[in-house]
Structure formats: C-alpha cells, structure tokens
Structure 1
C-alpha cells in the first residue's frame, strides 16, 4: 500500500562549493521549498503536422524560512547571493522507512542564488526567501547525515540518566 511522503521530511542542506572540506549544513526554520524542473518545448508547424523541438532542462529551488537570530547558514547564503558564489544544495528525504544503511534519498545540485528577500511583517516572524538556480542537471543518490545534521532535522531521544560515553557528555 502506498504511503504519503510528508513535506516536513524533505530538508535542504547547503555548502559553498569552494568550502567542500566543510560539512553541509541545514538552514534553520525552513518552512517551504519547491524543487522544480522545466523544459521549453517549441511547436513547429509543418505541412505534415506539428512537431516538437525539446529544449534543455532547467531546474530551480525556491526557498522560504523564518529568520533565526543567529544562523550561520542564513548568513552564508545571503553573502553568497551578494558575491555571486556557487553553492551546493542537497534536498534530503529524512524518512526512516526510506533509509538504506546510514544514507537517505537525496537530490544534489550546484548553482547560484539569484535573489534574496528578507521580509519583516509587524504581526509575524521575519522571513527570508530565495531562489536557487541549478547549473547543469540535478543528480539523484543517497546522502549521509552526520549525527549533528540528523539532530538539526529532529532531536534524538535522550535518556533521563547520563551514561558513560553518551551524547549528553
């Protein structure tokens, strides 16, 4: 029987391409993102009927989040759009039923942010939105999340007592 995939289980991680020795990190308080693919199709009318000329694949990711008071990933992304720096992006599906070993299904892409908006409504939380333009074609695979990355997605159960060698130490 088919099961629904929850949107909250798909998270984005980012890293500057020129900092590939660092681990990717999650933008905190992500509220929504849309990974879209499009392709221009030109209709050419001939005497024999219509034929279609297929254009190149174009991909982008729209991103929305509530601003955190102190999020180094938000600061890195804002700086990257200002400086025109290339970014790596992972859309990771953090769903235990889809996990294989220590890896989760993911889409990987490289590209640039073409916009950065910081909205401050008097009655709501301050938000950020951006648009990531994918260069070339996104790649599908499996991504490993560190313990810290998994905890950033959802904190892990902690026992009421501290045992030797536990993560609470």
Structure 2
C-alpha cells in the first residue's frame, strides 16, 4: 500500500465523541477522556410481505444509536460524572462524532461531524483486576442525526493527538 493510500484511509482513532446536556447549551461540549471505541449505526426495520406477484418490502422508521461507547476512566474526568448523572436522571444529551483529520478540515477550520440528541440507555463501570477501570455506555438517538461540520476549541484540539508536521518552515496564512 502506498503512503498516499494510507493517508487517504480514515482512522477510527480520529473519530472522537463530544457530549453536552441539552439543557446546558450555553456551555461548550466536552470530550470524554481516553476514548477507546464506539460505533455509530443507523437501521430500519423491514417487513417482507409475500404476495402472489412477489415480495413487497414495508420499511419502518429510521433508528440511530451510538453503541459500545468505551473509555478508560480518568481520575476526576467531569464528563464521566456528567454522563453518569444524565443516565440516572434520564436527561437528554447532545453528542457529536467529530472526525479530527487535518485533510478533511473545511476552509473555516471545521471538521466533519455527526450531531445527534438522545439518551444513555446503559451505564457500566467495569473494573477488571488486570486492566484499567473503564466506562461503557450506549446512546439511543432521538429523531434523525444531522451531518455537517463542527468547530473544536483550541483546548479540544490540543486534547486530540497533534497532526504530523513537516520539517520545513511553515508559510504564513495567505502567502
């Protein structure tokens, strides 16, 4: 595989989740520290109706979810506390899956993102003797997720692994 082809592949590690309670829209969304994995999925129920002329398909409503949200617990991570409170109190959350890839950044410096609102339906804190303590959850999406571009704060960008830079001097913007 060529170097160029490797750079063109999307890496799962570049897809991060940011969370915020819907009622706290006056605050910035926050990244769950030490995320290890998650899955975004969309699905529809399909009913097959056999007829004498052939099978008809009746499609159901679109359903979406973020499953397998996993992270290693960080001491004092306020996002873990916020998410735990949200599942206990049944509070609606906002979630963004942001693809932090410098090659995909738009001209305004925003990254491709999926935005959704929903509820955590599960909360687990596994503590294996031979591994780090973890947090695990699923988020059920309400309505249809939206696709667009999201801004990361400077702090959020710094929390994500820095991008590769070349050894040559960088040119000032607009030159």
TM-score, normalised on structure 1?
0.90
Question: Aligned-pair distance for 1:146?
Answer: 0.6
Q: Does 1:12 align with 2:27?
A: no
Question: Aligned-pair distance for 1:137?
Answer: 0.4
The residue number in structure 1 matching 2:111 is: 104
Question: Aligned-pair distance for 1:156?
Answer: 8.1
The residue number in structure 2 matching 1:52 is: 57
Extract unaligned runs of 5+ from structure 2. Answer: 165-175
CA offsets 1:110-148 (integer angstroms, 9 cap, x no match):
000000000000010011110000000000000011101
Structure 2 contact 110–152 (Cα < 8 Å) conserved: yes
C-alpha distance in structure 2 between counterparts of 1:152 and 1:75, whole Å:
19
- Cα RMSD of the aligned pairs, angstroms, is 1.4
Question: Aligned-pair distance for 1:154?
Answer: 2.5
C-alpha distance in structure 1 between counterparts of 2:25 and 2:158, whole Å:
21
Question: Which of 102, 117, 128 in structure 2 is aligned with 1:121?
Answer: 128
The residue number in structure 2 matching 1:81 is: 87
The residue number in structure 1 matching 2:158 is: 151
The residue number in structure 2 matching 1:160 is: none
C-alpha distance in structure 2 between counterparts of 1:10 and 1:156, whole Å:
14
Question: Which of 89, 93, 99 in structure 1 is aligned with 2:99?
Answer: 93
Structure 2 contact 102–163 (Cα < 8 Å) conserved: no
Q: Report the count of equivalent residues.
A: 157
Extract unaligned runs of 5+ from structure 1. Answer: 158-169
C-alpha distance in structure 2 between counterparts of 1:79 and 1:153, whole Å:
25
The residue number in structure 2 matching 1:66 is: 72
Question: Which of 43, 57, 76 in structure 1 is aligned with 2:48?
Answer: 43
C-alpha distance in structure 2 between counterparts of 1:132 and 1:107, whole Å:
14
The residue number in structure 2 matching 1:167 is: none
TM-score, normalised on structure 2?
0.87
What SS does the corresponding residue of 1:131 show, helix, strand or coil? strand
Q: Which runs of 4+ in 1 moved over 4 A?
A: none
